[in-house]
């Protein structure tokens, strides 16, 4: 049987269709194609001979070597840069005669976000002509690809790249909740399908490389990009990230991982122009921040990595041979290519100041392992200094050859040399296909977390409702959470719209009162202290209170908008911004039942609400049908099943306060409040579940023997529901300090009322190992404690097993309390 490592090196995109003469309907311009297309191969260099690099049957490395040997310095360096697409840098949606004089006449590494409908953060870019309809977008990218294949000397195809953190970044591609919301589903199979959908839609529209997933860990929730992560726990993030990689690449598209490495903990959680000086020990780097990337590369065979802006221990990652070569390629066996995050190469010179000139910054980056520089400036800004460094002998040509070889290898594996064009008709069938929308539908519902439900306040009984007030700044703001790096041309269903649609058939009146803005006029200073509310603010709150006078229930939708919880938008507080807390208290004071719905990109310290409001639901930054999903949950058509992928601290003053943690690191301090507001893994249901009959087999084994952990889960309530059973593990005694408890497994199980199912986990060496004092991954003999629970703090079952040394022995490990002398 072929190993995973061998499979990872095979081409992804041949799919049974090698080169054939393209048909006119594949392009915008219906003119005849050049006479270079033959049965099964393309005469890319137009010499009438099937050379090795044009032969799909030739070994991959032979093809790469043959092409590299034919390339000039100009052609090699053109492969080492991104041409940012229309309208960011490229001003043409289709090739023009002027392209014959542009830098890319010698080829290009990749073209990013070409005409994808990215209108800018605030719709400040022109609307492309060829983003829609989908078939025309495919034809457009085919047209550009045809120019590179037919008009450049060697016919090297471009790699079309795009973002893909909530589905593909295209005007009307399928939209999913933010990564943090998707993570709350604790559903690897769902993430795998989201990856497939993102990859399928990318491939159909002409893209061959997607910048996804984001594998950073949100260990400091003040950080603006918390919403883009799969949470704070390395096991959860790596498990979900690996599935996203596999799903994307199953769809014949490269997955490029973001952001390598140690990027997500800039000092103080600040983002924007900071992104430096991460406070992490080398042990934390190895055990926490590199784990998701390690698994995505070694197990998933990811073909791309984006190098991050930050430094580590004084060395910019972009110029770090340790990270980009020694760890990534030598230790992990990475076979893809590395792109820069925007301006990261420039920062070596302008921010980190470890390069005296920009040219030297370019040299440092390439020598460290950077393949392609990607940012929002013309490619010649980079290629000019790059060529100068080579010509003056400062950058060895052998290093350049290796970087180009790594780029070409990916392009061959993607099948771009053998099948460079896509089928426009497939785009029409693929994008937003019914199965894709069904997955988005499922993700929206499984991502919702029921945080509190005192007195069974939820679900709402439609038969008892006559009038409902939906209030708050996120209740009817379709643009509040629309971004996947740009406005989207999608019809978002707001919570107000979802509830109105759902309740209309029952004759329930649904009112709306915004009350206050999401943030106030003094934000962000108001995160430090608030001036007395203005007359306009008081009037808005009064109007909402008046609207609640005769309603049966108030649904208050509060939280954050995308503009204060995204890249370059961190906070100093985790409280509700603006005067939203004032609105909530005023609505609660009416005496009407209140349901708080949070829509936000990071944990919020809603302490007052957690004490006084009976029902709290976490919606996150949802996908396009958020309001419909919320209505399904609030009205009981869907039983909530999401669990928190990140800790909700009581205050920003506790930060860093996260999971996992080392013993005692987050224990009680007499001068502080203790504990989390809502712990990692927390999530309630409209039914109840019990766990019983924990079985471990074997209870004593060597390090390479799998340990099976099984328990029985029973739905003891009256509704069908999904439970997320979580397995936590503790190495009881070890040569270095390890986690107080570490997530090592989770399983989503669906149960009818009264139904019982066994849930089984298998623990292997990977789950048991630790990084010893010599920074070696080892499994140490001794006792391990298994904990099964409904959250990291709601542990229901405990058991133990012992790992033995090769000679069958294990150290004596006796808990301290068992060693105390008996009282006289």
Q: Catalytic residue numbers?
A: 341
User: Any idea what DSSP says for residue 805?
Assistant: P
Q: Extract the runs of DSSP E, i.e. beta strands, from 398-528.
A: 449-453, 467-471, 509-513
Contact (Cβ atoms closer than 8 angstroms) between residue 248 and residue 283: no
CA 406 to each of CA 76, 335, 370, 409, 411: distance values in angstroms, whole numbers, following the listed order: 12, 7, 10, 5, 9
SS (H, E, C) 187-255: CHHHHHHHHHHHHHHHHHHCCCEEEEEECCCCCCCCCHHHHHCCCCCHHHHHHHHHHHHHHHHHCCCEE
3-class secondary structure, 313: coil
At 256, list the tokens.
């490029």
Q: Pairing relation of β-strands 742-751 and 721-731?
A: antiparallel
Give the integer Cα–Cα distance in Å for 772 and 662.
15
Q: How far apart are CA 432 and CA 94, in angstroms?
A: 25
- Report long-range pairs for 30-34 (Cβ below 8 Å, ≥24 apart): 33/146, 33/150, 34/150
d(Cα 176, Cα 441) in Å, to the nearest integer?
8
- Token pair listed for 162: 């795009």
Reduced to 3 states (helix: H, G, I; strand: E, B; else coil), residue 590 is coil
Tokens of 158: 């471009």
**Separation CA 9–CA 409 (nearest Å):** 9
Q: Which residues make beta-bridge pairs with 684? A: 450
Measured CA to CA in angstroms, residue 163 lies from 89, 130, 166, 320, 654 at distances of: 16, 18, 9, 25, 34
Query: Where does residue 532 rank: exposed (0-12), middle (13-18), buried (19+ CB within 10 A)?
Result: exposed
Q: How far apart are CA 818 and CA 149, in angstroms?
A: 75
Structure tokens at 300: 């998933």
The answer for residues whose C-beta is within 8 angstroms of residue 651's C-beta and 6 or more apart is: 574, 605, 607, 673
Residues paired with 165 in a beta bridge: none
* Cα 579 versus chain centre, distance: 31
The answer to whether 706 and 755 are in contact (CB under 8 A) is no
Kindly report the number of other CB atoms within 10 A of residue 242's CB atom: 24
What would the two tokens of residue 698 be? 């074997």
Query: Measured between alpha carbons, how far is 559 from 578 in angstroms, rounded to an integer?
Result: 10
The angle subtended at Cα 307 by Cα 301 and Cα 312, nearest 5°, is: 120
Question: Tokens representing 83?
Answer: 């041409």
Largest alpha-carbon pair distance within the chain? 100
- Do residues 638 and 445 lie in contact, with contact meaning Cβ atoms separated by under 8 Å? yes
Question: How many residues can be counted in the chain?
Answer: 824
DSSP 359-379: HHHHHHHHHHT--BB-SSS-T
Torsion sign (Cα): 273, 277, 281, 282: positive
Q: Read out DSSP for 11-47? A: -SS-TT----PPPGGGSSS-SPPPTTEETTEE-TT-S
With contact defined as beta carbons under 8 Å apart, do 157 and 145 qualify? yes
CA–CA gap between residue 432 and residue 440 (Å, rounded): 10
């Amino acid at each position: 049987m072929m190993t995973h490592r061998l499979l990872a090196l095979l081409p992804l995109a041949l799919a049974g269709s090698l080169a054939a003469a393209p048909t006119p309907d594949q392009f915008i311009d219906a003119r005849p194609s050049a006479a270079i297309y033959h049965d099964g191969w393309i005469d890319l260099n137009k010499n009438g001979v099937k050379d090795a690099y044009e032969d799909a049957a030739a070994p991959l490395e032979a093809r790469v070597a043959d092409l590299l040997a034919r390339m000039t310095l100009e052609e090699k360096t053109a492969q080492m840069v991104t041409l940012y697409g229309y309208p960011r840098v490229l001003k043409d949606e289709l090739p023009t005669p002027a392209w014959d004089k542009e830098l890319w006449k010698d080829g290009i590494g990749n073209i990013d976000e070409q005409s994808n409908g990215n209108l800018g953060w605030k719709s400040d870019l022109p609307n492309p002509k060829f983003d829609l309809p989908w078939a025309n977008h495919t034809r457009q990218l085919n047209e550009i690809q045809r120019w590179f294949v037919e008009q450049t000397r060697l016919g090297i195809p471009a790699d079309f790249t795009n973002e893909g953190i909530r589905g593909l970044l295209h005007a009307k591609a399928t939209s999913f909740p933010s990564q943090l919301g998707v993570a709350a589903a604790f559903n690897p199979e769902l993430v795998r399908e989201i990856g497939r959908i993102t990859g399928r839609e990318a491939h159909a529209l002409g893209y061959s490389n997607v910048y996804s997933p984001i594998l950073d860990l949100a260990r400091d929730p003040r950080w603006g990009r918390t919403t883009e992560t799969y949470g704070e726990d390395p096991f959860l993030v790596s498990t979900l990230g690996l599935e996203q990689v596999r799903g994307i690449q199953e769809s014949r598209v490269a997955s490029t991982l973001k952001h390598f490495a140690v990027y997500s903990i800039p000092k103080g959680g600040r983002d924007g122009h900071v992104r430096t000086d991460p406070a992490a020990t080398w042990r934390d780097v190895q055990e926490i921040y590199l784990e998701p990337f390690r698994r995505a590369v070694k197990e998933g065979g990811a073909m791309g990595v984006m190098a991050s802006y930050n430094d580590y221990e004084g060395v910019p990652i972009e110029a770090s041979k340790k990270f980009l070569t020694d760890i990534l390629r030598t230790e992990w066996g990475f076979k893809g290519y590395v792109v820069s995050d925007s301006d990261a190469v420039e920062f070596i010179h302008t921010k980190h100041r470890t390069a005296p000139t920009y040219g030297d910054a370019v040299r440092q980056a390439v020598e460290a392992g950077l393949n392609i520089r990607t940012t929002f400036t013309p490619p010649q800004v980079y290629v000019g200094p790059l060529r100068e460094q080579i010509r003056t002998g400062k950058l060895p040509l052998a290093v350049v050859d290796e970087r180009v070889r790594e780029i070409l290898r990916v392009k061959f594996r993607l099948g771009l040399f053998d099948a460079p064009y896509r089928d426009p008709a497939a785009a029409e069938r693929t994008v937003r296909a019914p199965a894709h929308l069904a997955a988005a539908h499922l993700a929206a519902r499984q991502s919702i977390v029921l945080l509190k439900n005192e007195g069974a306040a939820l679900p709402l009984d439609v038969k008892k409702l006559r009038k409902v007030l939906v209030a708050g700044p996120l209740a009817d703001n379709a643009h509040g959470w629309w971004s996947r790096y740009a406005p989207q041309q999608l019809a978002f269903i707001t919570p107000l719209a979802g509830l109105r649609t759902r309740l209309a058939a029952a004759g329930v009146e649904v009112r709306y009162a915004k009350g206050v803005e999401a943030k106030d006029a003094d934000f962000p200073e108001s995160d430090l202290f608030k001036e007395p509310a203005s007359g306009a603010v008081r009037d808005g709150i009064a109007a909402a209170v008046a609207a609640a006078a005769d309603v049966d229930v108030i649904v208050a939708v509060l939280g954050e908008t995308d503009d204060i919880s995204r890249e370059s938008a961190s906070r100093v507080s985790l409280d509700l911004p603006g005067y939203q807390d004032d609105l909530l208290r005023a609505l609660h004071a009416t005496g009407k039942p209140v349901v708080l719905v949070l829509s936000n990109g990071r944990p919020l310290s809603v302490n007052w609400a957690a004490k006084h409001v009976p029902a709290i639901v976490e919606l996150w930054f949802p996908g396009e049908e958020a309001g419909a999903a919320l209505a399904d949950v609030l009205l009981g058509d869907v039983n909530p099943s999401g669990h928190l992928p990140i800790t909700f601290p009581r205050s920003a003053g506790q930060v860093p306060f996260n999971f996992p943690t080392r013993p005692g690191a987050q224990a009680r301090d007499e001068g502080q409040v203790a504990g989390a507001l809502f712990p990692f893994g927390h999530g309630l249901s409209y039914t109840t579940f019990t766990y019983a009959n924990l079985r471990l087999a074997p209870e004593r084994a060597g390090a390479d023997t799998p340990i099976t952990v099984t328990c029985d889960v029973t739905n003891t309530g009256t509704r069908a529901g999904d439970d997320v059973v979580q397995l936590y593990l503790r190495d009881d005694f070890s040569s270095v300090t390890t986690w107080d408890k570490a997530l090592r497994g989770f399983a989503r199980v669906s149960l009818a009322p009264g139904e019982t199912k066994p849930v089984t986990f298998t623990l292997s060496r990977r789950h048991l190992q630790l990084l010893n004092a010599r920074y070696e991954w080892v499994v140490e003999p001794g006792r391990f404690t298994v904990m099964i629970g409904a959250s990291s703090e709601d542990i229901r079952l405990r058991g133990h097993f012992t790992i033995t040394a090769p000679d069958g022995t294990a150290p004596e490990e006796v808990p301290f309390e068992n060693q105390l002398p008996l009282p006289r």
